[in-house]
Amino acid sequence: MSGVQQPGLFDAPQRLFSCTPSRLGSYEDCPRRYRFTYVDRPQPPKGPPWAHNSLGASVHTALKNWYGTPAERRGPELLPKLLRATWVSEGYRDQEQEREAYRRALAWLETYVDGLDPEDDPVGVERTVATKTATLALSGRVDRIDRRGDDLVIVDYKTGRSELDGDDARGSRALALYAIAAQRTFRRRCVRVELHHLPTGTVAAHEHTEESLARHLRRAEATAADAVAAERALADGVAPDEAFPAVPSPRCGWCDFRRVCPEGSAAWPAKEPWAALEGRADGPVGAPSGASGPGGAATTVAGGVDEAGGRAAGAGVPGAQRRPADG
Ligand code: SF4
């Protein structure tokens, strides 16, 4: 046998870029914010916590724990206890606003679980799914994965102000990537994605094709390549602000890092931490839609809320499509 190595035979394999849909979405929205979130260490100081994130996290955790309760004990009477147990108090203007948010959240949950079969156990609740491509190691945490017939369905809870439609479900890169990852994790077909909007009790759904999923994956890989190139440029000495340009937009009003971003803070006024819970029925433009996952939740405090019911529609995070919290 010849001792001559074939060229490239033992080349190091290409390192995969580990990411979540949230990370990719962050780069697509604003490379500067991506740098602050994922590259700069120590991380620049963030602004104060947001009430809409607290509300979203509280609702998500209550639903997670509802499914974590034995089926025979799942019922509406359980909801106040679950919601209070992991309620996140941060970011609200005052106790009155927080109490109102609690009442709304409880009403959403009561309506929502009323439409669920308590005997129905999903395939996954806040389940991490993962997959690899030639360049990516993708992972993410899905709010819920249902089994319907032979197929899996991705379910993402939304607590934002705006009702969502099929275009939101179709266009969500995160949901498509979750479907791909769930398909590969469970070795079962998964093409349907759903946004369950709790404030209105509506479901926005889309059935992907293999081609539309592949298209989302190609775009994710392209975004990852851009992010990797920017990180390389930074390592090669390019100025940080040049490698990761700021992209001011209405999102700057809600950006955790606006205090360290002159471009963004000059372009858009800051929002109060509770602003997403107030205002017009359709909410201010450009608000984040991050109240969709437990990511970002900090302390949980059960005080400051009561168990009074009362339904009031329209609370939550304005804006349409979120990038799901990591996860
Ligand atoms: S303030 Fe705006 S431009 Fe600056 S990092 Fe945040 S989103 Fe980007």
Instruction: Write the residue with the smallest CA distance to atom 7 of ligand 1.
Output: 252
How many angstroms is it from 312 CA to the middle of ligand 1? 33
Q: Among 27, 241, 251, 259, name the best residue to mutate to test ligand 1's pocket (greatest count of ligand atoms within 8 A of Cβ).
A: 251
Q: Which pLDDT score is estimated for 12?
A: 67
Q: Which pLDDT score is estimated for 279?
A: 59
Residue 79 neighbours by CB under 8 Å, 6+ apart: 62, 66, 106, 109, 110, 113
Q: Which pLDDT score is estimated for 9?
A: 62
> Is pLDDT at 96 greater than 70 in this prediction?
yes
Q: Which residue has the higher pLDDT, 14 or 66?
A: 66
Q: What is the mean pLDDT of residues 14-41?
A: 96
Q: How many C-beta atoms surround the C-beta of residue 170 within 10 A?
A: 17
How many angstroms is it from 31 CA to the middle of ligand 1? 8
Share of the chain above pLDDT 70, in %: 81
Instruction: Write the residue with the smallest CA distance to atom 4 of ligand 1.
Output: 264
What atom of ligand 1 comes closest to residue 32's alpha carbon? 5
Q: How many C-beta atoms surround the C-beta of residue 193 within 10 A?
A: 26
Q: What is the mean pLDDT of residues 106-122?
A: 94
Does residue 42 have a cis bond before it (omega within 30 degrees)? yes
> Is pLDDT at 124 greater than 60 in this prediction?
yes
Q: What is the dihedral of CA 201, 207, 211, 214, to 10 degrees?
A: 40
What atom of ligand 1 comes closest to residue 261's alpha carbon? 4
DSSP 120-134: ---SEEEEEEEEE-S
Please list, residue by residue across 108-146, b when 16 or more beta carbons sit within 10 angstroms of its beta carbon and e when fewer do. Answer: bbbebbeeeebeeebbbbbbebebeeeebebbbbbbbbb
How many angstroms is it from 6 CA to the middle of ligand 1? 49
Tens digit of pLDDT for each residue in 234-271? 999 999 999 999 999 999 999 999 999 999 999 999 99
How many angstroms is it from 44 CA to the middle of ligand 1? 13
Ligand 1 pocket at CB < 6 A = 30, 32-33, 246-248, 251-252, 255, 257-258, 261, 263-264
How many angstroms is it from 228 CA to the middle of ligand 1? 19
Q: Which pLDDT score is estimated for 118?
A: 81
Residue pair 35/42 in contact by the 8 Å Cβ criterion: no
Q: Which pLDDT score is estimated for 126?
A: 97
Residue pair 280/296 in contact by the 8 Å Cβ criterion: no
How many angstroms is it from 97 CA to the middle of ligand 1? 28
How many angstroms is it from 262 CA to the middle of ligand 1? 8
What atom of ligand 1 comes closest to residue 33's alpha carbon? 5
pLDDT band of 232, cuts 50, 70, 90: very high
What atom of ligand 1 comes closest to residue 247's alpha carbon? 3
Q: Among 261, 265, 271, 323, name the best residue to mutate to test ligand 1's pocket (greatest count of ligand atoms within 8 A of Cβ).
A: 261
Tens digit of pLDDT for each residue in 165-185? 999 999 999 999 999 999 999
Query: What's the pTM value of the predicted model, to 2 decimals?
Result: 0.85
Please list, residue by residue across 226-259, b when 16 or more beta carbons sit within 10 angstroms of its beta carbon and e when fewer do. Answer: ebeebbeebeeeeeeeebbebbbeebbbbbbbbe
Q: Which residue has the higher pLDDT, 310 or 94?
A: 94
> Is pLDDT at 284 greater than 80 in this prediction?
no
